[in-house]
Amino acid sequence: MTLLKVENLHVSFHTPDGTFRAVNGVSFTLQQGATLGIVGESGSGKSITSLSLMQLVPCPPGSIDAGTALYNGIDLLSLPEEKIAKLRGNDIAMIFQDPMTSLNPFLKISRQLTETLEAHQDISSSEALQRSIDMLELVGIPEARKRIHDYPHQFSGGMRQRVMIAMSLLCKPKLLIADEPTTALDVTIQAQILELIQKLREELGTTVILITHDLGVVAGTCDHVAVMYAGKIVEYGKTEDIFAHPRHPYTKGLLASLPRLDAEKEQLTSIPGQPPDMSKPLQGCPFAPRCQYALEKCCKLFPDTFSFEEEHYSLCWKANEL
């Protein structure tokens, strides 16, 4: 069953320096209970795509210029504020990148958690508190009944991230958007957070969009991967297909930058150059200036879509040869 269908999403930011096209025609479909990984460098449009789904793009300077995002048949992008507000935190929840800036430093964790329940569900304050304690225990907060009355600064980075996950899951949302949930955490805590999201997905049946710049993070957690570059999905497919047979030079570059556990010695490579300036018109393939496989027509014509295995496609003129 299709839970979310995004088609031709365009998002721009209008600044004194020009109009930046942050998202430039993104389309994807997400099945209920599945996990989609969205990967790419900083500035590729991953976070703006997810914020658009909840109408959280700051306007001005941002604007959603075109596209639809059908959630159970309802276009999220055209809903009035009062209706989208009822979906946020209830049906669709988001784990933001930095829990310290996402949590209110002046309010105890208890208030920040119970407020979510009281806003969306008809329950008493005492019941909201108990459910909040139960959720903190579920995400692995020790002594949850005591710690719930602490302030955010009294928690470590990993514990604050767990609080954010608990807040996102309090109303048992059908769709969870995790925007780089392991950023700035050490590798041990990263593994715990990813394992926790996977466990909650299995227990609650939550559909997940996992946003990251690291393909290694999505290897064992995602069913499908969308590789974004310059505001577009340049390659999409099942996780095993993307890792086994990458069909876009950018995807190959991201994979080549990952260390391998089965290699004694290896030379990690980097992708040369910088992402394009999205305030200027782009001619041809936006990755062409950084691509070792670039042809003359790559600089003049935007590539067609080439399809391969089931649901696997790439936007590259040389996709059949990679």
Q: Which residue has the tokens 């470590």?
A: 156
- The amino acid at residue 257 is S
pLDDT at 205: 81
What CA–CA distance (Å, rounded) separates 113 from 7? 34
Query: For 60-81, what is each residue's pLDDT tens digit?
Result: 888 999 999 999 889 999 999 8
Mean pLDDT to the nearest integer, 158-186? 82
- Of all residues in the chain, what percent carry a pLDDT higher than 90? 42
Query: For 108-125, what is each residue's pLDDT tens digit?
Result: 999 999 988 888 888 888
pLDDT at 101 over 80: no
pLDDT at 317: 92
pLDDT at 126 over 80: yes
Closest by alpha carbon to 121, among 86, 93, 94?
Answer: 86
Mean pLDDT to the nearest integer, 279-295? 89
Closest by alpha carbon to 67, among 86, 45, 87?
Answer: 45
SS3 220: coil
Six token digits for residue 55: 């109408």
Do strands 2-15 and 207-212 pair parallel, antiparallel, or not at all (unpaired)? Answer: unpaired
CATH fold for the domain made of 2-82+176-186+206-259+267-321: Rossmann fold (3.40.50)
| Cβ(151)–Cβ(68) below 8 Å | no
- The pTM (predicted TM-score) of the whole model is 0.88
Mean pLDDT to the nearest integer, 99-108? 82
Query: DSSP for 273-291?
Result: S----TTS---S-TTGGG-
CA 21 to chain centre: 18
- Domain ranges in the chain are 2-82+176-186+206-259+267-321
Query: For 217-244, what is each residue's pLDDT tens digit?
Result: 788 889 999 999 999 999 999 999 999 9
